[in-house]
Amino acid sequence: MRQIRESAFLRISRGARAKQRGVYALAFAVLLIPLIGVVGCAVDYARIVQYKSDLQNAVDEAAIAGAAALTNTDSATATAASGVAANYFNRAILPASLSVSAPNVVTNTTSTAKLPNGNQAFTVQVSASATVSNTLFSVFVPSVNVSATGTAAEPLVTADLSLGHVNNQACDKNILSIYLVPKNTGGTAYDYSISALSALPQTSFVTVGPTATSSLPPIGANQPLGIRLQNETGGGTCNYGANQYGSQYQAYNLFYSSLLGNGMSPSETNNSVTYTAVTTTINSKITQVSVTRPTDPAIPPGVTTTTNTGSQLSLSTFTPGLNCTQSSSSTSGTGGGAITTTTYTCITKYKQQIASGSTPASTSGNCSLYMQTGVSQTFVNNLSGTSSAPTASSGNCFNPTQAGAAYAAPTCSQLSALANGGNAPAAVFWWNDGGGTSDDKDYNDAYFAATCTVSGGTGSGNTEVVLVQ
């Protein structure tokens, strides 16, 4: 009887425990749904935060890339900068599960944007959004939209050309102009080629010396600046006839500093001009030269015929081998009264010209420009009409990649960096115009110091692209 009672008790006890387990299972099942939601929310929230950070990095980097390309107010430059930013964003490495929309790029070149220190800047803003598909939390919310915006600024700077230090010690007439190195046709890089420079309109060249005629607008700190030397043979204080490179009296020659950025000599431009020279000689002395010469590049294309006379004219200028080839000659009269008329075909071709056609590049291709850096502000302030070029430049020609070539088309960011160590933020351009019947290579025919200052606000400001949002 007792055993029967115990068995009944056990059956009842086991039934109670089974019911209890069922209650626990039901309670766990009920609690599992919000638990999955909490865990899923935590996991997916962490993914969303990471993906938003990735998206923010992408728009920030794209904005910086675009701002670095936004260096002036030209509409083509703004379009190119937008393209650079968009391409940079599109190539960003983002999670494959992130469904990203096309970026929206907005450029601002109105000079109204401000850096935190109050200085003016050009800006590029890149915005983008993306859809993040949830995992565990997708039961409740299938996906979440995230967005990010990045704004980068290119500080505006003003080129201080130290106009009081533009000097000229040449017999030739020399004019210095500054220009913005142009972009390539795609707007993705700067074009240092002859063709790009020759295509610039005359309005692109701002005369800085001996007398400044205008000034540059504010530009981006990463815009390369080039210097053009416009040389008029014998147009300064004397008429010595043709120089040793074949350039005739009052003929114009153009030299561009930024050509060094392409590994070329500044003289490798349109200086190679073929012309005809007719000389009249009595007793082996030239008494008259008539030439057809190239005109001032600021005047519409054409030719002008001029006649040069005087004892300074040298017969050796026209001897074969010095850029002239005799094409005909006739003599009238005899003895001391004999008059010889000779026609020459000449070409204005500076011997430092390199890599032209089949002519190989010369290791000493630059006899026109010497760049000096590492100078003090006192040195810059004391530049005068009697200053001498650095000893290292005297009488030398240089490989186009040497003699400070890295600063032949400097940006204001580069010039600002030169101020480290107590030096002035300046690069000094020392030009040799190749004038005279021999080339002295003294590099003091035209020279000046270029510095840059940040426009707007106070203090020195920034000279590199910065994130402002």
pLDDT in tens, 141-190: 566 788 889 998 888 887 766 554 566 666 888 888 899 999 887 777 88
Helix or strand (DSSP H, E) at 289: strand 285-294
Residue 335: band (very low, low, confident or very high) from pLDDT cuts 50, 70, 90 = confident
Report the distance separating Cα 13 and Cα 178, nearest Å.
102
Report the distance separating Cα 453 and Cα 463, nearest Å.
9
Q: 111 with 156: CB under 8 angstroms?
A: yes
pLDDT of residue 358 exceeding 80, the answer is no
Structure confidence at residue 319 (pLDDT): 55
More confident residue, 437 or 31: 437
Question: Percent of the chain at pLDDT above 90?
Answer: 9
Structure confidence at residue 52 (pLDDT): 84
The closest of 448, 446, 449 to 231, measured between CA atoms, is 446
- Give the amino acid at 430: W
pLDDT of residue 449 exceeding 90, the answer is no
pLDDT of residue 308 exceeding 60, the answer is no
- Give the amino acid at 436: G
The closest of 149, 154, 145 to 48, measured between CA atoms, is 145
pLDDT in tens, 227-251: 999 888 887 677 776 777 777 777 7
As a whole number of Å, the end-to-end CA separation of the chain is 88
pLDDT of residue 136 exceeding 90, the answer is no
Structure confidence at residue 101 (pLDDT): 85
Structure confidence at residue 312 (pLDDT): 46
Give the distance from CA 151 to its chain's centroid.
22
Radius of gyration (Cα) for the chain, nearest Å?
A: 37
pLDDT in tens, 17-44: 555 555 555 554 555 555 555 555 556 5
Three-state SS for 151? strand
| Residues near 468 by beta carbon (within 8 Å), at least 6 away in sequence | 113, 115, 116, 121, 123, 151, 152, 153
pTM: 0.73
Report the distance separating Cα 34 and Cα 183, nearest Å.
60
Residue 5: band (very low, low, confident or very high) from pLDDT cuts 50, 70, 90 = low
pLDDT in tens, 337-353: 788 888 877 777 775 54
Q: Rank 68-72, 260-264, 366-370 by mean pLDDT and report only the highest.
A: 366-370
DSSP structure string for 315-373:
GGGGSBTTTEEEEEEEEES-GGG-EEEEEEEEE---TT--S-TTSPPPTT-B-SEEEE-
pLDDT of residue 226 exceeding 90, the answer is yes
Give mean pLDDT, residues 256-280: 77
Q: 286 with 340: CB under 8 angstroms?
A: no
pLDDT of residue 282 exceeding 70, the answer is yes
pLDDT of residue 410 exceeding 70, the answer is yes
Question: Percent of the chain at pLDDT above 70?
Answer: 69
Structure confidence at residue 460 (pLDDT): 54
Structure confidence at residue 271 (pLDDT): 60
Count of CB atoms within 10 A of residue 360's CB? 8
The single residue listed with the structure tokens 């010595």 is: 240
- Tokens linked to 23: 């209650």
Helix or strand (DSSP H, E) at 285: strand 285-294
Average pLDDT, the chain: 75
Report the distance separating Cα 279 and Cα 202, nearest Å.
34
Q: Provide the 8-state DSSP code for 408.
A: S
Structure confidence at residue 317 (pLDDT): 57
Report the distance separating Cα 98 and Cα 129, nearest Å.
10
Give mean pLDDT, residues 96-124: 81
Count of CB atoms within 10 A of residue 115's CB? 20
Residue 106: band (very low, low, confident or very high) from pLDDT cuts 50, 70, 90 = very high
More confident residue, 251 or 455: 251
- Tokens linked to 331: 């003599």
Q: What's the residue count for the chain?
A: 469
Residue 302: band (very low, low, confident or very high) from pLDDT cuts 50, 70, 90 = very low
Count of CB atoms within 10 A of residue 387's CB? 15
Beta strands in 119-269 (DSSP E): 120-133, 143-160, 173-180, 206-209, 219-220, 225-232, 252-256
